[in-house]
Chain A
Amino acid sequence: MSIDRRGFLKLAGTTATAAVAGTAVTAEARPPKVMPEEAVGLLFDGTLCVGCRACMPACKQANDMPPELTPLKVGPTGETNAVWDAPLDISGHTLNVIRAYRSGEGTKKDQVEDGFAFSKKSCLHCVDPSCVSACPVSAMTKDPRTGIVGYSVEACIGCRYCVAACPFGVPRFTFDTPTPKISKCQLCKHRFADGHYAACAEVCPTGATLFGKVKDLKAEIARRRSLAPGTSTTFPRGRIDGPDSYVGTVGKYVERTYGEKEIGGTQVMHLSGVPFELLDKPELPSVSPASTSESIQHGIYYGLLAPMGFLGVLVAAARRTMLERGVEPPETPPPPKSSSSGGTP
């Protein structure tokens, strides 16, 4: 007996269950998440950064992380005997780096031709983070009040789905130890209780890295953009609602604020004098991949209705086949008539 038309249809129907669930995606779409009212974050203004990198050791000290020794070629013959704590990228042991763009003679600050510019790389604290959606064991969490994307080593199983999922390449894994963990900036939330805040902002001498509530930081961005480039203004230093400030020169910004729309917005925002493509900031859509992924999952598994319904059909069919029609389970059927024993019962 070959598989007949009906069998095909049934099989096709089984496969189609997934297809139906797939189309339910739009119906059960998970709405994008919104910024918490009291969300905190950072504003990094590249035009204010002087590239002193003071934020890097401050971050290491505040987060109790070891130096990353990078051998650098020095001297006329380029010998590599000098070793510096000079991480070139964030890693399992580095949460924050300042990086530079340079072109041609590299003498004019914040200019594309023959210029240079600084950028900061650290967690952007997404409004709708991919890492939080990916984590199977709630080790990555988004604080409902501050919006800080936190990590709990106590919950983590080390699957690295967060590392793979983050489009900014932020969570980093320590591959060099048998007891690894994920490293990422948590805005120094462990220092809040002592009246401290993000160490990078706390030590920044020019206010290039500024800590504060996202709504205040957004107002500050609007204020800076409203001023004429080259004019003088007062820049807050440390935290936006703090006492410290100084008078400086307004930079000439590119139109875009990085972090405003990227995958649904982030709590760390960047202003720059050169286009963000030059600063190794990835070009990303405004829809969060987390909402797409969860819409598909919720579409298929909403209230477990579809799987339960499917299971009901399967149980009924299996019962009919195995108990009523007597199709053998995976066990020995009765001995065949043609067996060599010869005798008939």
Chain B
Amino acid sequence: MSAELEHLPPAPVGGKLVTPTTAVLFGLVLAMVGVLAMRFTQGLGAVTNLNNGYPWGLWIAYDVVAGSALAAGGFTTALLVYILNRGEYHPLIRPALVAALLGYVQAGASVMFDLGRWWDFWHLFLPKYAQVNSVLFEVAVCISAYTLIIAIELMPVVLERLGLESPRKKLNRVLFVFVAIGVLLPTMHQSSLGTLLVVFGPQVHPLYQSNWLPLLFLSSTMGMGFAAVTIEGAISAAGLRRPFEKELLGKLLQIGRVLIGVFLLVRFGDLLCRGKLGLAFTPSLPALTFWLENLLLSVPLWLLATKRHRTSARRVFYGAMAMALGGIVYRLSAFLVAYDTGAGWHYFPSVGELTVTVGLIAFEVLAIIIAVRVLPILPAAATAPASAQRPS
């Protein structure tokens, strides 16, 4: 079926917009708005458990660091299709870019909720204030620029929907430049998201602190990006009663496996070279999360070991889930568990913080549902929806 599917043009999925699912999602978004109203009128302390020992919490560690890594499918798929000329992955490019746009908008929104003096955020873009030695400066400027680039990469979809043929053709002539920048920028900021930890020095547990953080974050991000594209494929197959392109996605995960292999090799190699691997066997919370994330990331290595494994819908789905989850745990641990500013400081996200994170995810899912139903994002399903394959 997938061979046939690859050649089908994207088309709106159609269907009802108001369903029990979308209603629940909308409710979660409303709850987030309530919490944010308090945050913006009374300060961060009123709704978060942030403190001067843990000044960064869930909104940064999950929504920005992990969230943007899950959105990496946008650039990794573009890299495959447009840079490495792997046309077979072309059907995945639109859903991957839409997910990337929403993921980065989520990250950007989160940053605005988290910034104490959010009304001055534009200082980041003024040469007068720019501090080019700051890792965060590079991350912030790069993420902002990339969010614009994704929007440009998706413009043909909107122009097509609006029937603006002439601007669409003109844009298509120069789109390759934006596609190229759209691969460069995430390579830069996804690695820098890891470098953010370097200046924390000894405050980050030696199992996590490393001069190889840029490569560790980049390789795991790319794996997570492929995993996220696979999971999105599985969910849209189940939710929208469409075929699950397990063979194509299985191939995608094969590349993800190589990248995760690089991650594990660098991570363990670096610890061996620094003589810190012993700490992984000393009971501590960072040691526990260290094994948890590395085991999760290792799951796809054996679960999807053979070509046959990679055509099993179940294995492809669970392999992708483990890869994505391992990457998320790695990021949360690095920023919140391995980060320790000394005795007396504790942090666990508050109900308010969780409400905002869940609300943002709900907003994202809601937007994807509406987008694929209204816009030509997914390849048209020629076969009857009833024969659709489920991921599990």
Q: A residues within 8 Å of B by Cβ?
A: 1-3, 7-8, 10-12, 14-15, 17-19, 21-22, 25, 91-92, 130, 133-139, 155-161, 163-165, 167, 169, 172-181, 263, 280, 282-285, 288-290, 292-294, 296-298, 300-301, 307, 310-311, 314-315, 317-323, 325, 327-336, 338, 340
Contacts and interface: CB of A to CB of B under 8 A. Distances in A.
Given A138-B131, A332-B10, A7 B94 contact: no
Given A292-B201, A297-B195, A178 B40 contact: yes
Most buried by A among B79, B97, B180, B199: B199
A18 B191 CA distance: 8
B134 A134 contact: yes
Contact of B157 (A17, A25, A330): A330
A322 B180 CA distance: 11
Nearest to B213: A296
Interface stretch (B85-93, B237-245, B277-285, B325-333): B85-93
Nearest to B83: A317
B86 A158 contact: no
Nearest 7 CB-CB pairs, A to B? A158-B116, A289-B201, A175-B45, A158-B117, A136-B137, A314-B180, A160-B55
B187 A18 contact: yes
A307 B10 contact: no
Given A318-B83, A322-B179, A137 B131 contact: yes
B109 interface: no
Interface in B1-49: 4, 7-10, 40-46, 48
A338 B4 contact: yes
Contacts of A12: 258, 262
A18 B251 contact: no
B133 A133 contact: yes
A65 B347 CA distance: 27
A250 to B, nearest CB: 32
Contacts of A330: 93-94, 97, 153-154, 156-157
Given A160-B56, A318-B176, A331-B168, A294 B133 contact: yes
Number of chain B interface residues as a range: 35 or more
Contacts of A310: 184, 187
B99 to A, nearest CB: 13
B176 A297 contact: no
Nearest to B219: A15
Nearest to A312: B180
A330 B78 CA distance: 9
A330 to B, nearest CB: 5
A324 B198 CA distance: 43
Contact of A15 (B83, B140, B262): B262
Contacts of A177: 43
A50 B94 CA distance: 70
Given A157-B123, A322-B176, A336-B8, A136 B131 contact: yes
B358 interface: no
A163 to B, nearest CB: 4
B129 A138 contact: yes
A3 B310 CA distance: 13
B81 interface: yes
Given A1-B88, A159-B116, A323 B93 contact: no
B268 interface: no
